Every structure is written in structure tokens, then in C-alpha cells.
Structure 1
Amino acid sequence: MTDLIEIASSGLSAAINPFGAELTHLRDADGRELMTDADPAFWTGHAPILFPIVGRLNNDILRIDSTDYPMKQHGFARRMPFTVTVQEPDRAVFRLTDSEETCAAYPFAFALDLAFHIHGTTLDIEARIENRGATAMPASFGWHPAFAWPLPYGAVREDHRILFETDEPDPLKQIVPGGLIGATPRPSPLVGRTLHLRDDLFTNDALIWDPVRSRHVIYGAPTGPQLDIAFPDTSKLGIWTRPGAHFICIEPWHGIADPAGYTGAFRDKPGVFEIAPGGTWKCALDVTLRP
């Protein structure tokens, strides 16, 4: 088993698994766990990194310049060991670079760095993707943190909700069987700017805002500490759990699953960005425990 890398401040502590650069624990100053219990009856993930795709591709095929490559849901970064390049009491950085294994599925030279920094009651995470090749590199990227539902402050699950920063008037994307995006939108379950969490919202997979207009949301019960989750760089938001589970995933994405029936090139699909040769792309996720 890989040893977790621990970082801390006076207000928070975190533990990150170098396998996948996955945030595994986030605890308050009293040691109370703010992340999922990873109950194998539901889902054993904690906070996988989604790269170089988000969601599922049609037939699990990544099409690059008329060549097909196999690519499973959410990409390969979450299933690969990262190298620890920085380890300090309040900061750690993890790196994944291209290899023979990655090139068999994604024919690009890259470096993906995940930097974690704790200060006060905030955990800042930044992803940095560098294109080390000679051609433009298409990619998607997403965060997938699973927070404790309920949070460890005494309120029951039914009291928890997610408050959006601003109005979200658009209908949601609909996931169809097979994990792709259907043509028919899903009515928004928001009441004003509030998503009241309940299991039946997730019977048919995730809720997907595309676009999401808010740059942060607040998760928790009306009384007690709450989590302020900021995502300044992402245009989409997924919220997901499995009914009955003790977690809620709040997932800012720059990318999305294929539309049902999509057979075009990866470069041309919705949510894909391109990084110029020698260029970099950055994306932040900040989690703050509010009293």
C-alpha cells in the first residue's frame, strides 16, 4: 500500500495518495473527517483526477487524427502512480508524465502536476498541464472530490444542501444508459439557488450543469460548519452520489462525456481544450471550511 503524503495547517489537515494524486482525507482541527468513508458497498473513490478525458467516450474510443485509441471512463491519471516532487509541512506537489503506457492510449508528450497547499482553513489545489510535444494537444480535465454526507457536525443527511453563488436558469444535461449525454435536457432541481440533497435525485446518475454560471458553491446544513468549494476555471459542474451512500461528489469539470452517438474527433467534441506546443493550462479548486 502506498504511504499517504500528509500536509497540515492550524485549521485543516490533508492526506494525498501518490497513486492518482488523490486527496484521501481532509480533516478539521479536531480531526473530524470531511471526506467520504469510501464504503465499498457504494464507491471506494475519494477524489480521483479526471484526465485526459471527463466522463465516458462513445464505445470507449478516443479518436485522434483518424486513429482510434482505447480510453476508459475518466481517463488514466486516476489509475497511475505520480511522483512526489515537493513535500513540505503545508504543501505537496505530484507529477505524472507521459510513458509508453500512456502513449498507447493518448499519443502526446505531457506533464501533469497537482499542487496541494493548506493555509488556515483552506485547501488550495492547482492542476498544471504542460504540452511537451510538437503539435497541439487536446485534453479535458475534471475534479471529482467526494465529501462526507452528512458532514461530521450533528445534522442529518436530509438537512444538507448546496447553495449556488448565482442563478442557474439552464436545464441540466441528461445522462443516458451507457454513460453518454442524451439530447433531451433534464429539468433543474434547484429551488432558487438551492439544491436540497436527497437520494432520488441521483437514481439516473449525476446532475450536470453545462454551463455552470457560479464560481463557487457552499455545501452543508444550515447550522454548523460548511464547505465553500470554489472552481474559478471550470465551465461545467457535476454533482453525484449513489443513493444511500455517505458522500456527495461536487465535481467541477472542463470537459464532459460524449454526446450519444458521437463519432467525431476528440479535438472537436464539446468541452475539449487544446494546449499549444510548449504551452501550459492551469485549473484551480479551493475548499474552505467555514464556521
Structure 2
Amino acid sequence: MIILENEGFRASISPNGAELQSFYSKAFQLEYLWNGDALYWPRHSPVLFPVVGGLKDDSFFYEGQEYHLVKHGFARDMIFEVEKSTPASATFLLKSNDETLKSYPFQFELRLIYQLGANSITLTYEVKNPAAGPLFFSVGAHPAFNVPLIEGTVYEDYYLEFSKKENSAAWTIDKNLIATPVPYLKGQDKLPLQHDLFYKDALVFKDLESDTISLRSDKTEHGLSYHFGDFPYMGIWAAKDAPFVCIEPWYGIADSVAHDKDLKKKEGIIELPPLEKWSRNWTVEFF
């Protein structure tokens, strides 16, 4: 386990999946990240790569060849090399190998760079294409935050606050695939949390105006603000009746039910030219 620590906070990151597994406030004696209890969901903050969400029939076609790839890709279940580590930052590296090439026919270098701030953590995704041909990929976040955060409050005491008033449809999910849009956010900047919001899977948004979503409650001063910049897609999810909520900015999205499985035509797919790099980041502030 790699530990990043300062006077106020401590972050724990596992080389297994380069997964952030804890973000703890020493001053507040408060754990913000879900503990991974398998009763609800055995993960904390998995990295989604080289796809986000499900593929139609768990497969895709590239240059006439069919490949099989699990939902959210393989990175979350692989051991990353710890390339650099200091008390305030750590860089994790995953490279393509003989096993990844069987299900995903691209060479790649994926770096996850965690940076601890005074009361925040920033994750930078850096993807490099070392090959002579294009690299097609998606990448996304899936952190689960504890709700309720403090004793004496309940799930329904909390809400998500968007940085702008939103008018956005939520896309329904059918067997891990994107199906149809349903009118959802109507000139509002707050989404009250209720367990039944997620009984039919995640809320998926394609056109949010906001670049920040905050977790807040009128019954406590503690919460967080998730700054995700220009990530084009957003998923909000929790396991059934689970005491957490996932805020998931994505560069990529699950296949639609009508997709023809051609990777080059996949919605949200990133095409990275030979020898080039791609990089994006998000930051969560905790209070």
C-alpha cells in the first residue's frame, strides 16, 4: 500500500488496480471513501480502462477481428508498477503485455498520477501510444464516497449539488448498455439522495453544464466537492441500499443497445495517434 500524507489528511492507494482505497481526515477523524465491504460492493475507486461501462455482448470488432473485454476493462484488476512515490505524490504505471493484447489489440502506457493537496487529492490520467498505429481507448473514474459521512445523519440527509443549474436527460441502462433518454434534471442544481434513485442502475448524463458536483448535507458542515473539468460523461450510482454514492466522470461511455460493435465508431472513444500522449485530471476537495 502506498501512503500519501500531510498534517491533515492521509490517502492510501493500492498497486492492485492503482486504486485509491482510503481518504482519511486526521483532524475530523473522518473517512470519506467507501470501505469496500463486499456485502454491497467490494471496490473503493476503480480505474476504468480501456473501456467505460459495458460492451455489447462483452465484445468489439477492430480491423475485422472480434475481441472480448469485460465491463469497465481490465486495468482495475491488474497490478501497476509504482514508478515514483513521495509523501505527497505517487505515479503508477501499467503497460500492455501479452495478456492484454489477447483482449485489446493495442500497445499502451497508462499512468495514474496521484497528488495530495492540503485538503484534496488530484488524479491525472496519462495515456501514451508507443505504437506505429492509432490507439483507441476510454478512461473513467468510479470513486465511492461514504453516505452518511457522520453519525447521527442518514442517507436522505445528503444531496448532490451541481455547480450550474442543469437541464439534462438521464439515460437508462439495459443489461449494461445505454438505452433511452428520460427527462430528469429540470432547471435544478440539487439532487436529493435516496436509495431508490439507483434501483434500476446508474444515472447517466451526457450533457451536464457543471464542472463540479458537491456532496453536502444541511445537517453537517462536512462533505466534498468533485471538480471534473471537461469530462463529457457522468455516471452517478450506488449499489442497492448501500451507504455510499459514486460520482463518476468519464471519457467514454457504455455501448448503446443499437451499436454495431465497431470500436472505431464507439461513442466517446478516444483515438490517440502514434507516439502521442493524452492527459486529463480531476480533483476532489474534502471538508
1:58-73 correspondence runs (5 A): 58-73=56-71
Partner residue of 2:216? 220
Q: Is the 8 A contact 1:37 1:247 kept in 2?
A: no
Partner residue of 1:236? 233
Q: Is the 8 A contact 1:11 1:29 kept in 2?
A: yes
- CA shift for structure 1 position 191: 6.9
- Which of 155, 158, 163 is matched with 2:156 structurally? 158
The C-alpha deviation readout for 1:153-210, integer Å capped at 9, x for no partner, is 643211110000112212111101x11011x312215671101000111010000111
Q: Which amino acid aligns with 1:10?
A: E
Q: Is the 8 A contact 2:167 2:186 kept in 1?
A: no
Q: Is the 8 A contact 2:61 2:262 kept in 1?
A: yes
Q: Which amino acid aligns with 2:144?
A: A
The C-alpha deviation readout for 1:205-227, integer Å capped at 9, x for no partner, is 00011122211111121231220
Say yes or no: does 1:43 pair with 2:36. no
Q: Is the strand fraction higher in 1 or 2?
A: 2
Say yes or no: does 1:202 pair with 2:185. no
Partner residue of 2:147? 149
The C-alpha deviation readout for 1:10-29, integer Å capped at 9, x for no partner, is 22210001000000000112
Where does structure 1 lack aligned partners over 5 or more consecutive residues?
none
Partner residue of 2:25? 28
Q: Secondary structure at the match of 2:103?
A: coil
Where does structure 2 lack aligned partners over 5 or more consecutive residues?
none
TM-score, length-scaled by structure 1: 0.95
**Aligned-partner Cα distance in 1 for 2:152–2:92:** 35
Q: Is the 8 A contact 2:56 2:261 kept in 1?
A: no
1:95-174 correspondence runs (5 A): 95-152=93-150, 154-174=152-172
Partner residue of 2:10? 13
Q: Is the 8 A contact 2:167 2:188 kept in 1?
A: no
- CA shift for structure 1 position 8: 1.1
The C-alpha deviation readout for 1:54-105, integer Å capped at 9, x for no partner, is 0000000021111111100000100100000111111111000010011111
Alpha-carbon distance change, 154 to 128 in structure 1, aligned in 2, over 3 angstroms: farther
1:181-192 correspondence runs (5 A): 181-182=178-179, 184-188=180-184, 192=188
- CA shift for structure 1 position 137: 0.8
Q: Is the 8 A contact 1:153 1:224 kept in 2?
A: no
- Percent of aligned pairs with the same amino acid: 34
Partner residue of 1:94? 92
TM-score, length-scaled by structure 2: 0.96
Alpha-carbon distance change, 189 to 169 in structure 1, aligned in 2, over 3 angstroms: closer
**Aligned-partner Cα distance in 1 for 2:157–2:80:** 38
The C-alpha deviation readout for 1:250-270, integer Å capped at 9, x for no partner, is 000011110003224112111
Q: Is the 8 A contact 1:133 1:277 kept in 2?
A: yes
Q: Secondary structure at the match of 2:170?
A: coil
